[in-house]
Structure 1
Amino acid sequence: MENQTSSNSFHQNITYGCNEGEYAIYVSSLFFAGVGLPLALVAIIALRSVRADHVAPVYVINLLISDLLQLCCTVVFVATNQTKICKYFYHIFNYGLMVSICFMVIISLERYLSVAWPLWYRLRRNIRTSVKICIVAWILCLSLLIINDLMGESKILMAGFLILPVPLFIFFLWGTVKALNRARSVQTDEKRRIIAVLVLVLIIYTLLFLPDIIFLSSNNKKVHVTAYIFLRFSPLADLVLYIFMRKGIGDKILDYLCGKMMPDSFNQSGQNSTMIELGSPVETWIGD
C-alpha cells in the first residue's frame, strides 16, 4: 500500500517540460513537433518552385512560417520546465497562433475574391500588395498580443479574436459556392478544389480553434488539456490544407471525396471549357 501511494505521489509530481503533470500534452507535443517540423520545412521548400508572380504561395508561406513558429515553441515546451522560459515561449506560441488564424482568413478571402470578383481581383493582385498585407497581418497580431498582455491577458479579447473569423469563413464559403454556380469557364476539378479548401478551413477552425473559447470560460482541467492538444494539432492541419491547395496532389483525393457530393450544376458546367476568362481562379493555384 505504501509503495502504491508513493508511486502515485511520484507520478503526480513529475514535470513534463512546461506542462507540469500533464502527460497527455507532453506526449502529443512530442508527436506534433516530431512530425510537423520536417513536414513544414519540406512544404516551405516546395513552394520555392512556384512561379514568383503567384500571389497564393505568399499567403501560404506565411501560414507555414507561423506554423513553424508554433512547432519550435512546442519543442521548447517539452525540453524545459523553467518558468520564465516557458512564459516567454507561450507568448511566442500565441503570437504564431494568432498569425495563423489571420492567414487562414486571408486565404479564404483570396479564394472568394478570385471567384466572385475575378476582374477586380486580377487587376489588383500582385506580389507587392500581398507582401504589404502579410506585413500588416504580422504587425496587427503583435499589437493585439501586446494589448492583451497589458490588459492582464483578457479572456474577452481573445474570445472575440477567436469568434470573429467564424462568420467570415461562412460568408466566404457561401459567396464562393454561389459564384461558382454561375461560373461557366471554371472546370469541375477547379470548382471542387476551391470548395474543398474553403470547407477544410472552416472545419479546421471549428474543430481546433473554437474549443479554445470553451477553455477560456471553463475551470475544468480536462477541458484545458483537450483544448491545448487541439491547438497543438493545428500546424499539422494546415499542412493538410496546403496539400489540397497544391494542384495535382489533392486531385485524386477530391475526386474520391467530393465526386458524389457536389451539386449537379458543378458537374454539368465547364467540362469542355478552356481557362481563358480574365482573372480565372485557376491562375492562383499553387503548383500551376
Structure 2
Amino acid sequence: MRKGNSLAMYLINLSVGDLLYILTLPVWIIMALGYPVNDCLCSIIAVVMYNSFYVGSGFLCCISMDRYLAIAFPLHFDKVREVRTAAQVSAVVWLLEIVLHFSLRAYTGDIWYFCSHRICDARIPMSRKVGHEAIIRAVTGFLIPVLIMTFCFLEIIRALRKSTSTVVSERMKIWFLLLSLLFIYLVSFTPFQVVMFLRGLLEPDNCSAAKNMKDLYMVFVATTTINSVLDPIIYCLISESAKMEMRKLFSNCKKQISRMSMSIVKP
C-alpha cells in the first residue's frame, strides 16, 4: 500500500472481514458443544459473521473493478486507482453494508430486541419479514456481486486476448487467478445463498419446508469457511511480491532461531 498499490487497500479490508469472521468461530464451537452463551454475545457473533459475508463480496467486487480498469484501460483512470481513492471506496463499502444490515434488522424487529431475540439461533420456520430479509440479502449481497465480478473477468480476458504486449505466461497467470477467484467464491457461497433464497420464498409459515431445508442450511453455512481459508492463498501466495516478503520473513525467523540456539549452546 505504501508503494501506491490500490489493490493492497482492498486486500487489507478483505482480510479484516475474514478475520472478523474467524473470530466468531470459537463462540460457534462452544455453542455447538452445548455450552451456554450470553444472549448479547450470541447476537453479536451472528451479526459479525453475516456482515463479513457481504463485506467480503463488496471488496471482491472492488478488486475485480480495480483489475479491470488496470488491464482494460491502463492509461486511464489513474485517480480512481490511487490509494486515497481506494481508502474512500473501502469506507463507503463498510458504511453501505452496516447501514443495509441495520436497516434490515430494523425491518425484522431484531434490532429493537437485540439481546433477547438471540439472532445466532436459527428460527424455524422463518417469519415473513425474515424471509424478505433473506431474499434481499441473496440478491444484493450475492447475485449482484457475482454479475459484477463475471462482467469484469470476461472483459479482462477479452482485453488480454487483444493485448500484444502481455506475454503468454503472464496472460495464463492472470486467467488462472481470475478463474480461481470466481470459482472459489461460487463454490463457497452459492449453496448457502441458494438455500437462503429458497428459505425466504418457501419457509415462512411452512413447517414442512423448514424441516426439509434445515440440514442443508446447517451444512452450507459451514462451507462458507472455504472462502476465508483460500483467500490468503489466492491473493497473497500467487503474488511474486508477497512470495518475496514471505521468504524474507522466514529468513529473518531462521536467523533469529539460529542466534537463540547458539546463545543457549554457549557455556
TM-score by length of 2: 0.69
Which is worse superposed, 128-137 or 143-152? 143-152
Aligned-partner residue type, residue 240 of structure 1: I
Deviation at 1:194, TM superposition (A): 2.1
Change (3 A) 1:121 1:191: farther
Aligned-partner residue type, residue 240 of structure 2: K
Tell me the secondary structure at the aligned position of residue 8 of structure 2: helix
Partner Cα distance (1:123, 1:64) in 2? 24
1:62 maps to 2:18: no
Find the partner of 1:176 among 156, 175, 185.
156
Deviation at 1:196, TM superposition (A): 2.1
| Structure 1 residue aligned with 2:265 | none
Deviation at 1:174, TM superposition (A): 1.1
1:109 maps to 2:65: yes
- Tell me how large the CA RMSD over aligned residues is: 2.0
Deviation at 1:201, TM superposition (A): 2.0
Aligned-partner residue type, residue 243 of structure 1: C
Contact 2:138–2:194 at 8 Å: present in 1 too?
Answer: no
Partner Cα distance (2:178, 2:167) in 1? 17
Contact 1:163–1:210 at 8 Å: present in 2 too?
Answer: no
Any stretches of 5+ residues in structure 2 without a counterpart?
109-129, 200-209, 244-267
Contact 1:197–1:244 at 8 Å: present in 2 too?
Answer: no
Find the partner of 2:29 among 78, 96, 103.
78
Deviation at 1:213, TM superposition (A): 2.1
Structure having greater relative contact order (Cα 8 Å, sep ≥ 6): 1
1:119-268 aligned within 5 A: 119-152=75-108, 153=130, 154-161=133-140, 162-216=142-196, 217-218=198-199, 219=210, 220-243=213-236, 245-247=238-240
Deviation at 1:245, TM superposition (A): 4.6
Any stretches of 5+ residues in structure 1 without a counterpart?
1-49, 251-288
Contact 2:9–2:86 at 8 Å: present in 1 too?
Answer: yes
Change (3 A) 1:92 1:123: closer
Aligned-partner residue type, residue 235 of structure 1: S
Deviation at 1:76, TM superposition (A): 2.2
Change (3 A) 1:72 1:98: same
Deviation at 1:57, TM superposition (A): 1.0
Identity %: 23
Count of residue correspondences: 201
Partner Cα distance (1:67, 1:173) in 2? 23
| Structure 1 residue aligned with 2:4 | 53
Contact 1:66–1:100 at 8 Å: present in 2 too?
Answer: yes
TM-score by length of 1: 0.65
CA offsets, 1:42-97, max 9 Å, x none?
xxxxxxxx643211111111111100000001122223542432122100111111
Tell me the secondary structure at the aligned position of residue 122 of structure 1: coil
Deviation at 1:124, TM superposition (A): 3.7
| Structure 2 residue aligned with 1:16 | none
